[in-house]
Amino acid sequence: MRKRRNLQVGASLFLATALGHAQRAPGIVDEWLARLDTQGAERVIRDAGKSGPRIMVQIARIAVHRGQPKVALSLLDAAGAEAGSEDGRELRSIAFGLLHATEGAVERTTDDGALRVQFQHGGDVALLPWLADTVVAARRVTGESLGYTWSSPTYVVLVRDQQTLAEATGLPYESARTTGTLAIAKWGRVTMLSPRATEGGFPWRDTIVHELAHLALTAVTSDHAPLWLQEGVAKDMETHWREREPFDEQPPPEALVLEADAKGELLPLDKLGPSVAMLPSARSAAIAFASATSFVRYLRSDLGPQRWPAYLRALAGSRSSDVLLEATGKSFGTWQAAWLASVRREGKTMSNATPSVPEIDRDVPRRMRIGRLLVERAHGEAAMKELARVGDVARRSVEREGGWFTLHALAHDQRHDDVALDALLFGAAPATDPRGAWYRLRARRDEGRGDGSAGAKDREKAVSREPYGPEAVCEDGRTGREAALCDAARQRMQPGVE
């Protein structure tokens, strides 16, 4: 589906996003829902002792947050004319989308109660053990970093296609397609596209962490965090749950900010609209993510470990249009100008250290496709010849790319050329993330060299990157959750089986 062009590979998560809340004044029920506390929201309504159509719409909102679309729809039916209000119409459409996504879905709750998942495609249950591990780690890192205590279960809905993702969250489908959105944090849950729906997978566990950061920040600030803060924090948090890789964030956000600055493409951070997912192109979304991430890091580092969490807490109680001014004495505009000046200054000193990624020669994707087909048929020798036909200039532009590394590694493995294989696995690291098979090959070589612990980590990374790639997750002698995932990956490849 989504074409992975070189520029975007390093930012494959720039698609995950939080939608801004609807254009209406948030009420007290919304504040409890932002804190992921549906019981608190219900108590507010009960204590007020009121009834009537308006209250029914509010209870329908709580039902949507709880993942009870049928309850929400019957409340909206009972609310009569009030269901025709902007709120009512929005809720009805979300409830229908959620009903479509979850009717007949397989539901699982983990033993510790931390995670509740609805899998629209039953085969995705094979992902549950990894999903549960990720959520535990994500709750820990987002909680520590944002000063939030997760108390209610994390609710995840995994859907089979982007249309369903859009319908169940309220994001216009066209926007989801344009920016290639993979996941949305809204309505008290994470709705994510199943990796089975993508060609080549995506770092889905980083995406989960990104979305949980949105939910935690929404809770801490009672949904008063501006979009730049939401996206900057979530993007920054994506890799905090795991070891960093050399190809994370390549190119670095500052490089993209400088490039956009030079081309006049930089958007002011407070003019990003209701969601990054609704920006006009994938490139403008990537630039927005890069600037938000860089600005948040600048601000957090300048404010330090005491004033940063104080600022986040201040957002919850404040109705000011410039909470930064209130909390730090400097206006948002002043902060933004200081940040940009600092990026420009740093840019001068790094000068050409991070050259912008060249366009790929048109011949390369074609040769890569042929090479991949040959590797799939175990013709490693012929694949190498095909890849060697790419001209020198074109090869230089992609030879540090993860996809190129992976294909070469597979071909060398088929040719039993361990020296060349090890050079690709343990020598110079690729500049962008490799596919799942690269990690699986490295795991096998780790274990061959007696390093079982590195091998185990690499197997996990293969699943994190490409859970439905048989060459990434299947290996003889595996049992338990790994064998189940391999079965699911092989089933997905069978013709006629979705």
Residues at the contact surface with Zn ion, assessed by CB under 5 A: 16-17, 231, 234
The smaller minimum CB distance to Zn ion, of residues 296 and 486, is found at 296
Q: Find the shortest distance in angstroms from Cβ 191 to Zn ion.
A: 12
Q: Quick one: which of 157, 185, 159, 160 has its CA closest to 171?
A: 185
Q: Find the shortest distance in angstroms from Cβ 392 to Zn ion.
A: 39
Q: Find the shortest distance in angstroms from Cβ 212 to Zn ion.
A: 11
Q: Find the shortest distance in angstroms from Cβ 139 to Zn ion.
A: 17
Q: Tokens standing for 10?
A: 């390093």
Q: Find the shortest distance in angstroms from Cβ 292 to Zn ion.
A: 9
The smaller minimum CB distance to Zn ion, of residues 234 and 288, is found at 234
Q: Which residue is nearest to Zn ion (CB)?
A: 17
Residues in Cβ contact with 439 at an 8 Å cutoff, skipping those fewer than 6 apart: 458, 459, 461, 462, 465, 472
Q: Find the shortest distance in angstroms from Cβ 235 to Zn ion.
A: 7
Describe the strand order of the beta sheet including 106-109 as a list of residue ranges. 17-18, 183-186, 189-193, 154-159, 115-119, 106-109
Q: Find the shortest distance in angstroms from Cβ 18 to Zn ion.
A: 5
Residues in Cβ contact with 441 at an 8 Å cutoff, skipping those fewer than 6 apart: 409, 410, 413, 421, 425
The smaller minimum CB distance to Zn ion, of residues 270 and 359, is found at 270
The smaller minimum CB distance to Zn ion, of residues 120 and 275, is found at 275
Q: Quick one: which of 19, 14, 13 has its CA closest to 186?
A: 19
The smaller minimum CB distance to Zn ion, of residues 231 and 458, is found at 231
The smaller minimum CB distance to Zn ion, of residues 146 and 234, is found at 234
Backbone angles phi, psi at 186, to 5 degrees: -165, 165
Q: Is 108 helix (H, G, I), strand (E, B) or coil?
A: strand
Q: Quick one: which of 109, 8, 112 has its CA closest to 67?
A: 109
Q: Find the shortest distance in angstroms from Cβ 211 to Zn ion.
A: 7
Question: If you count them, how many residues does the chain have?
Answer: 498
The smaller minimum CB distance to Zn ion, of residues 63 and 234, is found at 234
Measured CA angle at 250 (ends 235, 286), to 5 deg: 50
Q: Is 287 helix (H, G, I), strand (E, B) or coil?
A: helix
The smaller minimum CB distance to Zn ion, of residues 203 and 347, is found at 203
DSSP 121: S
Q: Tokens standing for 147?
A: 């000063």
